[in-house]
Chain A
Amino acid sequence: MSSSAATAIRPAQPGALERAVRRNGWTIGLYLLLLAFLLFTKLIHESFGAFDIETLAIGALPLALAAAAQTAAVVAGGIDLSVGALMALANVLAASLMLNQSFGTALGIAALVLIMGALAGALNGALVVATKVPDIVVTLAMSFVWGGVALLVLPHPGGGAPPEFQALASGRFLTEWVPNALVVLVLSVGLIWYPLQRTRLGLSLYAVGSDALAAFRSGVDVARAKIVSYTVCGLFAAAGGLALTMTTGIGSPLAGTYYTLSGVAAVVLGGVSLAGGRGGMLAPLAAAYILTIIPTDLLFLGADPNFGQVIQGAIMVLVVMAAGLISLRRSGA
């Protein structure tokens, strides 16, 4: 959407379009795959229509935001295994505070929860920087901390949110083919990530993820970049938790556990290198939709939807193998 469209508008140099297509091949391919999945679903399930698209968008919203959170950490060379716990924390905070409140208060609470998520993410990042312990160990340990805090806020599933707040993610926008959940997703990613990506700070995230030492020697503040990437990660995770509150209407302290690893799966499928420094937000979002549509299709096909997890794992591995083979062949040629 962003870079390919931008190049198309620009007065065309010879081969500019071709270059853009090649550079964004993975993203374009993934959107084509998503389209193929939608068509396939239409084939096996005649009545698949606007309503089902809305259901899909609602179902995919938390995972898509988890994927966005993970992407923010991964491009800067980190990984955040506490995304699920942070989502659960935001979910229970929102649900327990919003119970029996007016819509206006609920929006204020949502803003507070987002700030809390950003602060929690900043703490993750500060700990990674201060302790010099590998990211994966720090965030795994912090997943216990945030999970514990979530249990502290709300020991059992409960709480609630005003119907207007829940309605933010359901329903459609303007035409019946654009579900609100998609609008929420595009807005939250578009308003947070794309402005950041265009600043020096955003560029420094990619620089640090690509080669921290080289970035440091070029004068990039590595510690600041790391902390910013985890802050953005926490912000998206909190948005994902709010999405859980919108779509389920309650808070559950264990709701987030699924999203840590599935978020990583979406990031990998989205072509974001776990080594850092490469990848954008568009492809992981499409990947989140694909990972959500697979169990639905299995259900339509009459198969056990639990195979969805198997397929998710298998796709993740196969995608990386394919990417490895392609780059191997390219470097060999």
Chain B
Amino acid sequence: MSATKPAPSPSATMVRCAQDWRRRAREQTIISLLILLVALVALLDVIRPGMVSLNWISSTLLYAAPLGILAAGQTLVMLTGGIDLSVAAVATAAGYVMASQATAQGDARAVFFGLGIAAAVGLVNGIGVGVLRVQPLIMTLGMSLVVAGFLTVYQVLAVASAAAVPGFVTAVGSGTSLGFIPNSLVLWVPIAALVIWGLRRSGYGRLLYAVGDNPTAARLAGVRVWEVLVVDYVLSGLLAGIAGIDLAGLTSTATIDLGNSFLLPSIAAVVIGGTSIFGGRGGYGGSIVGALILTVLVSLLTIIDAPEPFRQVLYGAIILGVAAAYTRVVNE
């Protein structure tokens, strides 16, 4: 600091501090998200002292797992500038088909069926978006109508065979080991590790960012964009299928509206987590924290004992508020 310059006024220092904080927040968005998460948990503990315990953390993770896995697929798709509106329908289909086929086909084959359907829907989405150049929004929305329609018809046909969630699926979805470690981490942790590693280190991960950032440049650089997109949507479908089966295990039941309430949260988790809906920017780490924030938010809204309408209004308003704050920080 040179003596010739006048000492900065307090307000200027504050402005610089704020700018500094903004810059840091922009570079380390995940840190500010973690701070928000911790603040929410602290608020929960203030409202209901003693609530936050190992058991609470364990059940929160159990509830966050399906959303977190759905958000993984949604992240992969959004990084290419797409969106997958069929994740909820696909998750429901995988969970329901798995449960309704378990008695007749055996547990392992039923799970395989569920995942197969999920991957098949993802493949159709991928071909539509990648090869036939349909806008992702329309393609996945159309497929979600198709899947939901087929599922309604299938439910009428399959009504004879009672839906039963296999025991090991329930154990993974809702059980804990060693007292408090949630079993669904067996699914979620490897998926998270693979997605984060894949996005940062693998060639395919780089291609996703490249396609999302500038598809034309990617194509001119010799990337076969359609192949990248087809694989991307198959992965998203498959992850939605895994999430649906995990969800069936969590609730121990399978109905044809199993995953319907997860569509907005899966998008919100990714957006809150800092992945741009226009593609090319973001990552799965933020989406994980986003999924945790949304799950804690739901339990916060549950314990303040507000009536359901208020909870819905607050939930929507808070998602919007966080997304707005986030956009402001990033665009500054």
Which A residues contact B (CB, under 8 angstroms)? 79, 127, 130-134, 136-138, 140-145, 147-152, 155, 261, 264-265, 268, 274-275, 304, 306-314, 316-317, 320-321, 324-325, 328
Given contacts A138-B320, A141-B268, A309-B149, 6 further A-B contacts (CB under 8 A): A131-B327, A136-B137, A141-B317, A148-B314, A312-B145, A320-B135
Please, what's the 1-or-0 string for B288-312, where 1 marks a CB less than 8 Å from any CB in chain A?
0000000000000000000111111
CA of A289 to CA of B331 in the docked complex: distance in angstroms?
A: 43
For B144, what are the chain A residues with a Cβ–Cβ distance below 8 Å?
261, 313
CB distance from A299 to the nearest CB of B (A): 14
**Residue from the set A138, A275, A304, A313 with the largest chain B CB neighbour count within 10 Å:** A313
Q: Does B42 contact A (CB under 8 A)?
A: no
What is the count of residue pairs linking A and B with beta-carbon distances less than 8 angstroms? 149
Expressed in whole angstroms, the minimum distance between the Cβ of A115 and any Cβ of chain B is: 21
CB distance from B285 to the nearest CB of A (A): 20
The chain A residue with its CB closest to the CB of B147 is: A313
With A144-B316, A147-B312, A306-B152 known as contacts, the answer to whether A136 contacts B135 (CB < 8 A) is: no
Name the A residues within 8 Å of B307 (CB-CB).
152
Q: How far is the CB of A139 from chain B (nearest CB, A)?
A: 10
Taken together as a complex, chains A and B put the C-alpha atoms of A63 and B331 apart, in Å, by 38
Answer whether residue B148 sits at the interface, using C-beta atoms and an 8 A cutoff.
Answer: yes
Contact-residue size bin, chain B (C-beta under 8 Å from the other chain): 35 or more
18 A-B interface contacts by CB (under 8 A): A131-B323, A131-B328, A134-B271, A134-B277, A137-B277, A140-B267, A140-B268, A144-B319, A147-B312, A148-B314, A152-B309, A155-B309, A264-B138, A313-B147, A316-B141, A321-B128, A324-B133, A325-B132
Chain B residues near A137: list those with CB within 8 A.
267-268, 271, 277, 319-320, 323
A145 touches B312 (CB 8 A): yes
Are the CB atoms of A274 and B135 closer together than 8 Å? yes
**Binary A-proximity of B136-157 (CB < 8 A = 1, otherwise 0):** 0111011111111110110010
A310 touches B309 (CB 8 A): no
- Asked whether, in the complex, the Cβ of A144 is within 8 Å of the Cβ of B141, the reply is no
B residues in contact with A310, CB < 8 Å: 145-146, 149-150, 153
Chain B positions near chain A (C-beta within 8 angstroms): 83, 128, 132-135, 137-139, 141-150, 152-153, 156, 264, 267-268, 271, 277-278, 307-317, 319-320, 323-324, 327-328, 331
In the complex, residue of chain B having the shortest beta-carbon distance to the beta carbon of A323:
B134
A151 to B138, CA, bound (A): 29
Interchain nearest-CB distance for B127 vs A (Å): 10
Among B156, B308, B312, B314, the residue within 8 A (CB) of A304 is: B156
B267 surroundings in chain A (CB, below 8 A): 136-137, 140
Q: Which residue of A lies closest to B316 (CB)?
A: A144
By beta carbon, the residue of chain B nearest A315 is B142
Question: Hey, which chain A residues are within 8 Å of B268, CB to CB?
Answer: 137, 140-141
Residues in B whose Cβ lies below 8 Å from that of A313: 141-147, 149
Q: Provided the pairs A141-B268, A141-B317, A145-B313 are in contact, do residues A264 and B149 lie with their beta carbons within 8 angstroms?
A: no
CB nearest neighbor in A for B146: A313
What is the minimal beta-carbon distance from A312 to any residue of chain B, in angstroms?
5
A142 and B141 CA atoms in complex are apart in Å by 19
Residues of chain B with a CB closer than 8 A to A150's CB? 309
CA distance A134 to B324 in the complex (A): 10
B7 to chain A, nearest CB (A): 36
* Residues of B close to A133: CB separation below 8 A: 271, 320, 323-324, 327
- Which B residues are in CB contact (< 8 Å) with A309? 145-146, 148-149, 152
Kindly list the 8 A-B residue pairs having the minimum CB-CB distance in the complex, ordered from nearest.
A144-B316, A313-B145, A309-B149, A148-B312, A310-B149, A131-B324, A148-B313, A317-B142
A268 to chain B, nearest CB (A): 5
Cα of A205 to Cα of B136 in the assembled complex, Å: 24
Question: How far apart are the CA atoms of A261 and B140 in the complex, in Å?
Answer: 11
Residues of A within 8 A of B135 (CB): 274-275, 320
Given A144-B312, A274-B137, A321-B134, CB of A132 within 8 Å of CB of B149: no
In the complex, the answer to whether B134 meets A324 with C-beta atoms within 8 Å is yes
- A79, A148, A264: the one within 8 Å of B316 (CB): A148
Contacts of B150 in A (CB 8 A): 310
CA distance A70 to B143 in the complex (A): 20
